[in-house]
Amino acid sequence: MMNKLICRYTKTIMLFVLSFVLCACAIQASEKEWALLPLDNEQARTEIIKLISESMGGKTIPIAKDVFQQTSRLLLGKTSVTSPNGIRVIRTDNEAAIVFELLKQGSHCLLRRVDNAQEWTLITKSCIKR
């Protein structure tokens, strides 16, 4: 009788532990982490440029060849203006830079535009956690 009771409690505890472990794995797989692109990944770069252009209303945006290779963030802003005399002109519009982030969630690479919370799952899966 006592052995059956101990066995029942052991099974209950084991089931509880197993449920907890499975939930923890599912939560960890859904976490978004900063990511980087590996060197010379032209396919990913092309896909990112296309998405950024679409996000910016179809404008052609010049983006460096090493985008997202050293940092997980891309800041797009207006360039500063310098007068012919070499004096930097301070802009009065004070527009904030538009920020894009490269993230990894499980096996997927994500591109997120921070200011309006747009997010895209990339076709490429070659990004790596930072």
Asked whether residue 115 is assigned to any structural domain, the reply reads yes
Asked whether residue 63 is assigned to any structural domain, the reply reads yes
Asked whether residue 72 is assigned to any structural domain, the reply reads yes
Indicate the pLDDT class of residue 96, thresholds 50, 70 and 90: confident
How far is residue 72's CA from residue 108's CA, in Å, rounded to a whole number? 15
As a whole number, the mean pLDDT across the chain is 81
How far is residue 56's CA from residue 53's CA, in Å, rounded to a whole number? 5
Asked whether residue 1 is assigned to any structural domain, the reply reads no
Total domains in the chain come to 1
53 or 28: which carries more pLDDT confidence? 53
Look-up: residue for tokens 């505890």?
Answer: 13
User: What is the four-CA torsion angle of 104, 46, 124, 128, rounded to 10 degrees?
Assistant: -40
Specify the pLDDT at position 103.
97
pTM of the model: 0.69
Query: Could you give the C-alpha distances from 72 to 69, 75, 90, 94, 99, in angstroms and in order?
Result: 8, 10, 28, 24, 10
- Say how many CA atoms lie within 13 Å of 42 toward its Cβ: 0
Q: Considering the chain, what percentage of its residues have pLDDT values greater than 90?
A: 48
Domain that holds residue 117: 30-129
User: What pLDDT, in 10s, does the model give residues 110-122?
Assistant: 999 999 989 999 9
Burial class (CB in 10 A: 0-12, 13-18, 19+), 109: buried
User: 3-class DSSP state for residue 1?
Assistant: coil
Asked whether residue 21 is assigned to any structural domain, the reply reads no
84 or 22: which carries more pLDDT confidence? 84
Asked whether residue 4 is assigned to any structural domain, the reply reads no
* pLDDT higher than 70, residue 75: yes
Asked whether residue 15 is assigned to any structural domain, the reply reads no
Asked whether residue 13 is assigned to any structural domain, the reply reads no
How far is residue 88's CA from residue 82's CA, in Å, rounded to a whole number? 4
Specify the pLDDT at position 40.
81
